[in-house]
Structure 1
């Protein structure tokens, strides 16, 4: 048995598969002594584990002797190969494949150099090193110019740094399909609020509204400012007040803006709360 292939059972499963898959993909080969195709596939996997020199770990599990593990991975027949990475099954196949197809499988599951740099940039960002994260993402972009996730990562950092125009340009370079991605929708909403609210004079706007409660332009500008300042509840309250005053104003601008806030805050408990309030205001 080589340096990168292990016989695995319940005793070392946590160490080899669970912990190991936090670093590199772990390829689990479920096999049995009586299985002819298993005897064809296993040496191919062992050979490639040595050839790839630690880019993945091979975990060989005797399905007959480790039925609980086989059941955990919903093994229906063998050989069954499951690729695990960071807590998830990222790909799998059943039956014996020729070496060429196994190589294609491995190349598909291995993190690209750009993906590794993205992970490095994420760690730098979390540590507060935004300039370093952007530099690392620049390196990732050179390795994989077509990787749109790299551009989104960079746009998120630029938005955090209030470089709104640069962030918007990166988002504008994405394909139409990627424009619909949840991350992009949320980020674009954040940019829109930041750009529309950045010059606002809160005290002046509140004075205008106090003098003329139906000043919808002032209310909308104030709402955008509050959301841009992450004062989401206050901003949404202002938008709800607009809906109650005149829901059709400016082609339902208040309701549409409120929906943009919902996109921005996806998953936040405030969204469900204010969806109910909006529904009540519209009825």
Structure 2
């Protein structure tokens, strides 16, 4: 669940749906765990809620657990989608529609994009394509439009670090980020990992000679992290946990936790963090 997509029940329907709907459209998705079309529609709506960044909110109602709400809104089959805005039911559809039709549906009532918002989304798409310089240019432009938006500033810091422009990133991170404190701290932690990068080839050669040298393996993990090779960094640290969880007072586990902290707040690393949290938990239990 996120700030744009969340579960609701009859107990919190007023605070989570009716009150916000006075100022922003709320899409209410009636679904149930056994409903096959719901399994297609629900994740698609969640994805679009994140993409539209608050231009509408998505409230998901388990119809089996909230029959009173289903009855009140006249839900006869699921999935059923209702849109509430300014005290009225403004639109609706039943069944699972293709993504293109859902976008057309959403665009009929979604709030207009915030100034600079589209530029940030465009920058994120460019990052995925590996066009980092173009992404940074978009973020600079977006920041001029919304200079108070700390999320855009930290997006730019993230891209600078990917480009190896760590001095500039460090200067920007020296400021106060009260609105985005957790993400700013995570980026500072990642910047610290990039300091003092060692020669990975030399460390790999040492480890090949003595695979039981956990100290060298942790040095290699740090070297990988300094080069933004985060999967390899986590794999090396996890191997220390697997081979000897007590080594140097749990240094392997601490190295993984440092990596988790450094990558937190960046959507592109969420899956990686979840994967290695599970692996670390399995190794420790």
TM-score (norm 1): 0.52
Partner of 2:36: none
Query: What is aligned with 1:195?
Result: 195
CA shift for structure 1 position 165: 2.7
Alignment of 1:154 with 2:156, yes or no, is yes
1:169 Cα deviation after fit: 3.1
Cα 1:254–1:151 shift into 2, 3 Å? same
User: Secondary structure of the equivalent of 1:73?
Assistant: strand
Partner of residue 257 from structure 1, selected from 248, 255, 258: 255
CA RMSD of aligned residues (A): 4.7
Deviation at 1:136, TM superposition (A): 1.8
Which segments of 5 or more consecutive residues in structure 1 lack a partner in the other structure? 1-17, 28-62, 93-105
Match of 1:273 among 266, 270, 279: 279
Q: Residue deviations 1:225-254, cap 9 Å, x none?
A: 13443313123313655643231xxxx654
Aligned partners of 2:150 and 2:179 also within 8 Å: no
CA distance in 1, matches of 2:104, 2:255: 38
- Provide Cα deviations, 1:100-137, integer angstroms capped at 9, x if missing partner: xxxxxx9xx43222112212222333343322221221
Match in the other structure for 1:226: 224
Deviation at 1:26, TM superposition (A): 7.4
- The structure-2 alpha-carbon separation of the partners of 1:240 and 1:266, relative to structure 1 and needing over 3 Å to count, comes to farther
Change (3 A) 1:238 1:142: same
**TM-score, reference length from structure 2:** 0.52
Range that drifts further, 237-246 or 137-146: 237-246
Give distance in 1, aligned partners of 2:104 and 2:194: 36
Q: Is contact 2:238–2:253 with CA below 8 Å preserved after alignment?
A: no
| Structure 1 pair 270–64 and aligned structure 2 pair: CA distance change class (3 A) | closer
Separation in 2 of the partners of 1:166 and 1:254? 31
CA distance in 1 between counterparts of 2:103 and 2:150 reads 22
Q: Which has the higher helix share?
A: 1
**5+ residue gaps in structure 2?**
1-44, 58-71, 92-101, 264-268
CA distance in 2 between partners of 1:254 and 1:190 (Å) = 17
Q: How many Å separate the matches in 2 of 1:254 and 1:127?
A: 33
Q: Which residue of 1 aligns with 2:117?
A: 115
> How does 1:141-220 map onto structure 2 within 5 Å?
141-181=143-183, 184=184, 187-196=187-196, 198-204=197-203, 207=206, 216=215, 218-220=216-218
Instruction: Report matched runs for 1:54-65 at 5 Å.
Output: none
The 1:154/1:87 distance shift into structure 2, 3 A limit, reads farther
